[in-house]
Amino acid sequence: MTKLLKTDLCIIGAGSGGLSVAAGAAQLGRDVVLIERHKMGGDCLNFGCVPSKALLAAGAVAQTIRTASKFGIKAADPLIDYGAVHDHVHGVIAAIEPNDSQDRFEALGCTVLREDARFTGRREVTAGDTVVRAKHFVIATGSAPFVPPIEGLKTVPYLTNETLFDLKECPDHLIVVGGGPIGIEMAQAHRRLGAKVTVLERGGDILPKDDPELVAILAEELRGEGLTLETQTEVHEVAKGAEGHIIVKGAKAGAPYEVTGSHLLIAVGRQPPLASLDLQTAGVATHPKGITVDQFMRTSNPRIYAIGDCTGGRQFTHVAGYHASLVVQNILFKTPRLTFGIKGGKNHEEEAPWVTYTDPELAHVGLTAQMAEARGESYSTALWDYEENDRAQAERATRGKIKVVIGKGGRLLGASIVGKKAGDLIGPWQLAVANGLKIGAFTKAIMPYPTLSEVSKRAAGAYYTPSLFSDRTRMLVRLLASFD
């Protein structure tokens, strides 16, 4: 028998974005129905951010043991129990899991349905034997690994980020198809945990969205650790080899290319899982990468909002969380129509930073020099090397650089950092870019010594160095000295 639920807000997807909306709305006293067909916590908790960073942490410890001699401590080849590494990764997931659990959200007052959802009207969703009618809906279905139509792929046991963390034995030779953040992070983690690793990237370099000058520093470090990075390499076919191995065939810079490995990881991008939602029934328009939304995260049906990866924008957990805060404002406080003194209901995800959690880390916010040039912006750059930072010297972490892009009048357009703790260092630059600050804001900052944060202040100072120590300035100083 079909059950009817009437509610204020129905959220489809219990990943980071959907859970943030549910928690906010429930704690503000609204009736909430939350629908999730798979795991609570979504990709971030179960297959993405959390397990990948736990695996990277294990690899970092192994690498510290290998390179301990630079600190005067005897280095050794670490004894790695990959099964125990697997347990560590899943232990981290288990520790965080209660925050995203069904029990927690039911305790907040949400009705949680663990079913597939599909729209059966403009203001109606069916989930299992329950029909949900709501004043507003939020689609937060996230994204899933994109599996390209490679000949023979269905005949071999390939991995995606949804199955990679189930491995209990380290791959002998991991072939990674895709040189984006997921592929590169997992490539370095497995190399440090004992696997031979080959990365196949069809573009001219890995991490093509980042600044090439800084990517080159990271790529050199990765190759120094023994990773094979094959760029300009297209994959045409995969096949079974002897003893369960996998043969990958393609072309590198137009010439035939072939590599054989024990495991194959497909990491060429992600796509939103929208087919089963019957969006047309609800009058929700889509585009090739996801659901079409306006600046307030509303779809073409004004009663339905969409957030996170399913909109086809920047696919990061922190962007999904940001979208969640917008829809809480826009639905509950009616900010598209009324303000009540609340600002910020419009989407500005272009101001969001991103980080690739390799070692060294690579972080970015705003425009790269290449982006600024493509837009016709007048800009200059300021750089500072980690080598010049005393804390980096003390920690033997001197391979790194910050690159700041500055527009007219000293306006900050963007910043990129490669080096230790780059993901933490990018935070103040995001604040500056989002608030329209000028480069002078960093020269006025007093950074604690000795910390890596000083690279930001020194980069800002480097912008002023040519004019500060110019002949004109020296002449002015001499003139002022005459009044002593």
Is 208 assigned a ligand-binding role in the annotation? no
Q: What is the mean pLDDT of residues 31-43?
A: 97
State both tokens at 320.
């999904």
Q: What is the band of 49 on the pLDDT scale with cuts at 50, 70, 90?
A: very high
Is 184 assigned a ligand-binding role in the annotation? yes
Is 395 assigned a ligand-binding role in the annotation? no
Q: Quick one: pLDDT at residue 483?
A: 77
Encode burial over 279-291: b for 16+ CB neighbours within 10 A, e otherwise: beebebebeebbb
Q: Is the pLDDT of residue 419 over 90?
A: yes
Q: Is the pLDDT of residue 340 over 80?
A: no
Is 247 assigned a ligand-binding role in the annotation? no
Q: What is the band of 481 on the pLDDT scale with cuts at 50, 70, 90?
A: confident
Q: Tell me: the pLDDT tens digits for 268-312?
A: 999 999 999 999 999 999 999 999 999 999 999 999 999 999 999
Q: What angle do CA 251, 254, 258 make, to 5 degrees?
A: 25
Is 180 assigned a ligand-binding role in the annotation? yes
Residue in this structure with the two tokens 């980096």, named with its chain if needed:
392
Q: Are 108 and 102 in contact (CB under 8 A)?
A: no
Q: Are 3-40+101-143+272-332 and 360-468 equal in CATH topology?
A: no
How many residues are present in the chain?
484
**Pairing state of beta strands 117-121 and 124-127?**
antiparallel
Q: Are 157 and 174 in contact (CB under 8 A)?
A: no
Task: Give, for 96, the enclosing helix (H) or strand (E).
Answer: helix 82-96
Is 115 assigned a ligand-binding role in the annotation? no
φ/ψ (deg, to 5) at 104: -60, -45
Q: How far apart are CA 365 and CA 370, in angstroms?
A: 13
**Pairing state of beta strands 412-419 and 401-406?**
antiparallel
Q: What is the mean pLDDT of residues 12-34?
A: 97
Q: Are 269 and 146 in contact (CB under 8 A)?
A: yes
Is 83 assigned a ligand-binding role in the annotation? no
Sort 38 into a burial class: Cβ within 10 Å, 0-12 / 13-18 / 19+: middle
Is 341 assigned a ligand-binding role in the annotation? no
Q: What is the band of 345 on the pLDDT scale with cuts at 50, 70, 90?
A: confident
The CATH homologous superfamily for domain 3-40+101-143+272-332 is FAD/NAD(P)-binding domain (3.50.50.60)
Q: Quick one: pLDDT at residue 479?
A: 66
Integer angstrom CA distances of residue 376 from 283, 372, 379: 38, 6, 9
Q: Flag the least confident range among 49-53, 344-348, 409-413.
A: 344-348
The CATH homologous superfamily for domain 153-268 is FAD/NAD(P)-binding domain (3.50.50.60)
Long-range contacts of 160-166 (CB under 8 A, 24+ apart): 160/265, 160/266, 160/267, 161/43, 161/47, 161/48, 161/52, 161/186, 161/267, 162/43, 162/47, 164/265, 165/47, 165/51, 165/52, 165/55, 165/86, 165/89, 165/90, 166/86
Q: Tell me: the pLDDT tens digits for 448-468?
A: 999 999 999 999 999 987 765
Q: Could you write out the DSSP letters of every residue in 211-255?
A: -HHHHHHHHHHHHHTT-EEE-SEEEEEEEE-GGG-EEEEEEETTE
Q: What is the band of 2 on the pLDDT scale with cuts at 50, 70, 90?
A: confident
Residue in this structure with the two tokens 């995969």, named with its chain if needed:
238
Q: Is the pLDDT of residue 344 over 90?
A: no
Q: What is the mean pLDDT of residues 158-164?
A: 97
Encode burial over 337-369: b for 16+ CB neighbours within 10 A, e otherwise: eeeeeeeebebebeebbbbbbbbbbbbbbbbbb
Is 381 assigned a ligand-binding role in the annotation? no
φ/ψ (deg, to 5) at 401: -160, 145
Q: Tell me: the pLDDT tens digits for 173-208?
A: 999 999 999 999 999 999 999 999 999 999 999 999
Is 181 assigned a ligand-binding role in the annotation? yes
Q: What angle do CA 443, 448, 451 make, to 5 degrees?
A: 100
Is 312 assigned a ligand-binding role in the annotation? no
Is 360-468 in CATH node 3.40.50.720?
Answer: no
Q: Could you write out the DSSP letters of every residue in 302-318?
A: TTEEE-GGGGTS---HH
Is 243 assigned a ligand-binding role in the annotation? no
269: nearest Cα among 348, 378, 180, 372: 180
Is 53 assigned a ligand-binding role in the annotation? yes
Q: How far apart are CA 237 and CA 250, in angstroms?
A: 6
Find the radius of gyration of the CA atoms of the chain.
25
Domain boundaries, the chain: 3-40+101-143+272-332, 153-268, 360-468
